[in-house]
Structure 1
Amino acid sequence: MTGISTTPRAAACAVAVDVALLTIQDGRLRLLLVEPDTPALAGRWALPGRRVRDEESLDDTAHRALDELAGITAPDAHLEQLRTYGDPDRDATDRVVSVAYLALTPMTDAPTDHDRARFWDTDDIGTSAGPSLAYDHDRIVPDAIERARSKLEYTALATAFVEEPFTLGELRTVYEAVWGVRLDAGNFRRKVVSTRDFVVEAGGLARPGPGGGRPARRYRRGSAQRLHPAMLRP
């Protein structure tokens, strides 16, 4: 028989954006999660996410999700696409393809007083002490954390976690929190200052911390996007 198409029908699906926002708080890597307002997902947590509107870019949707669901307006936050997730059964209510984003920001730029939003220690994700994640966010979250860990090795991304000016001690805290290791302060300093255009002196000295000690020099981000040589994980 002729004239009958055997081409499979294209799937009708919505496009959403989910944002994995990471920050450093008290020397720990933390992830922003929200409680979905869907009764079927009561007791579970999810990445902030919204479906894309006709007039929106994907970046705009990411910022709207953070604003509407967590009260976070961080226009200067580092934002990059992570990957696309589109398993047919990832959302029980509809066919939804999600473009996931990784966002990084200093904690001071990410306050949230929403009852349904909070920061979780990433070490607790996937454990009995951590949240039960909705949708396929148990796939997205590890991907986002590993992206951050790997990019700290060969890019200047660590500076997205700190406010300027910053000390090398504060920058070292970022690496230690994201990688989950302790780093020798002297070796770290030598690597950072010898890496061309990674950081530049901002002038002045930071006040000593509660433990006292010598005032530390202050720095700001340099022009380097990629680090040569790389800051390899131990």
Structure 2
Amino acid sequence: MDDWLKDSDEVEASWVTVDLAIFTLRGDHLMVLLVDRGVEPFLGRPALPGGYVQKSETLREGALRELREEAGIDGGALHLEQLGAYGDPGRDPRGRVVTVAYLALGPDLPVPVGGTDAENAYWATVEELGRDGTRLAFDHSEILAEALEEVRRKLEYTPVATAFCASEFTLSELRTVYEVVWGQSLDPSNFRRKVLGTTGFVEATGGQRMPSTGRPAALYRRGSAWVLSPPLLRAGGQPA
């Protein structure tokens, strides 16, 4: 270690945590998974699920364990990716704690069950959180806001919207994902033309779903593309 580091009064131990911004669709609502903290700091305050990474774990393993322990959800089948690292001094009153935030998406995920240091786990409507101004523990409100915008952006340039759908879905169900996440109404015919005109976005399964009324709807699955070209842009190119 450099001598200047040995003598510095500012050197302190740091800890690493993981936090998860997990989204699903229920009906026509975009939901995020929250827990009520069962311990200090921020006892009783809503927060994103997460916790300390153990010495023997990778970051991803820690994220999946925390999801299982705090909410009783198996994250193995989720779309899971790193969102970013957050390490502002003072973000955690216990000391210098750097967290690596993960973004996770899944179709109609189950009712969570609180555990370990989570007093309660539940799905909250993103729209209501924004409207009532609820402040989450630590810097989780900022993490959630950035995660939400990342999801909205990824819907424009990648086929990640299919992560909100079952393995087979109709174009109407896929359109609902875009409308709910973006908060914008989309013209069905125009949406269908754009999706089917984007190479590798979806592929037909050959199956059909019979609605309660009307004609049967064709079923699709995610295609082979990782990037949408051309992209499907939000109205005005601005966040909903």
CA distance 1:83–1:225, shift in 2 (3 Å): same
Alignment RMSD = 1.6
What TM-score does the superposition give when structure 2 sets the normalisation length? 0.89
Match of 1:171 in 2: 174
2:142 pairs, out of 104, 121, 139, with 139
Amino acid at match of 1:192: V
Residues 70, 113 of structure 2: 8 Å contact kept? no
Amino acid at match of 2:131: T
CA deviation string 1:29-68 (max 9, x = no partner): 1100001111552341000001111110111111111111
Distance 2:54 2:44 in 1: 28
Amino acid at match of 1:89: G
Is the counterpart of residue 152 in structure 1 residue 152 in structure 2?
A: no
Is the counterpart of residue 122 in structure 1 residue 140 in structure 2?
A: no
Residues 111, 122 of structure 2: 8 Å contact kept? no
Residues 107, 166 of structure 2: 8 Å contact kept? yes
1:73-84 equivalences in 2 (<5 Å) = 73-84=74-85
Gapped runs of 5+ residues in structure 1? none
What TM-score does the superposition give when structure 1 sets the normalisation length? 0.92
CA deviation string 1:158-182 (max 9, x = no partner): 0111111100011001101110111
Is the counterpart of residue 20 in structure 1 residue 21 in structure 2?
A: yes
Match of 1:96 in 2: 97
Match of 1:184 in 2: 187
Q: Percent identity?
A: 48
Match of 1:112 in 2: 112
Query: Displaced runs of 4+ in structure 1, greater than 6 A?
Result: none
Residues 43, 132 of structure 1: 8 Å contact kept? no
3-state DSSP of counterpart to 2:81: strand
Residues 164, 177 of structure 2: 8 Å contact kept? yes
Gapped runs of 5+ residues in structure 2? 236-240
Between stretches 221-230 and 7-16, larger displacement belongs to 7-16
